[in-house]
Structure 1
Amino acid sequence: MPIVEAHILEGYGPDDKKRLTSALTDAIRFVVPAPDEAITVMLHEYPPENYARGGEQRTPAPALPDPAKLVRAYLDAMEARDLETARSMLAPEFSMTFPGTGPMTTLAELLDWAKDRYRSVAKTYEAVEAFHSEGAAVVYTRGTLSGEWPDGTPFSGIRFIDRFAIRDGRITQQDVWNDIAEVRAQ
């Protein structure tokens, strides 16, 4: 029965602490073959005035946004064509790659590329999965696409997977895989 104790400064909210204990439980499960209910995670909180590093008192950094929620908010903004909101979630070094494209760095490039592919598109999500890898939060979304071809004919049930990388609470990369070309060719 693994027991994990973590020491944090006071100041994180209940949702942030729940995310932290869940992430620590997941980290243990990557290595130890124990069911979730056998893993105990305890957070010990300390007031900032009881902590110093380098001889200076420190305050806790704000929690990063939940990467899965950030990605869903971005995709929802894109679907609603709220481009200003979507753009605000992107890092300056953002790039995206869609089927058949090289890297694009602006939402305007994406919209220009997509205009001949479909009139509208919406996503139905089967899963949104987040984890940490090599200094970035990584989020995969998968499900099906529906919408209209440029001539107005409806389509649905097209598989997709999107992979996002997030650093410092902003999306740095989006890679997209889907079967639109294969379905359209039929």
Structure 2
Amino acid sequence: MTDSPRGAARTEAIMRTTLELGREIGYAKLSIEAIAARAGAGKHTVYRRWPSKGALLLDSLLHLHGAVLDYPDTGDLLADLRTQIHAAVDLLGNPPFGPLYRALIGEAQHDPGLAAALNERFITPQTELTVARLRTARDQGLLSPAFDLDLAMAVLSGPLYFRFLITQEPLTHEYVDRLLLTLFGGLGA
């Protein structure tokens, strides 16, 4: 991507258009040509920056919505997890992010490059943030020294992705609270 103001404005317009058009017509009907036409850019301009509509969608989602999922560290592990996961389910439960992210995950099943980019740029950083927050709690004595941080991350994210991708039941704050209680409720017993 270019550093010039004109290039940055064009990039921003292309990414916003991707989300707008994706929301309107869905990922399956989304095309680079339609995005370029609506954004007032040439399709070659788009293809020079993004090799596929999946790569463009990933950049668009992360650029326009990525900072929402930063972790707080108030010293209260459950409150911090609740705050971050509530923000995640709010993001996933609403257009344009939720439906387009679901489509992106589907596309990643058939596109190894997109799968690698999704893991590298979104899944792994979010996992590292969660594990770091759990590690801090463990180091503060809030969790057992034997508490398996990576497995806890899988247990936290698995039910959310199961609902989001498989059953497509709503992701709610109440569900998150039940999940956290199930995982961490027995720690004080």
TM-score normalised by the shorter chain: which range applies?
0.3 to 0.5
- With normalisation by structure 1, the TM-score equals 0.33
Larger relative contact order (Cα-Cα within 8 Å, sequence gap ≥ 6): 2
Answer 1 or 2: which has greater helix percent.
2
- TM superposition score normalised by structure 2: 0.33
Q: In proportion to residue count, which structure has more strand?
A: 1
Structure number with bigger Rg: 1
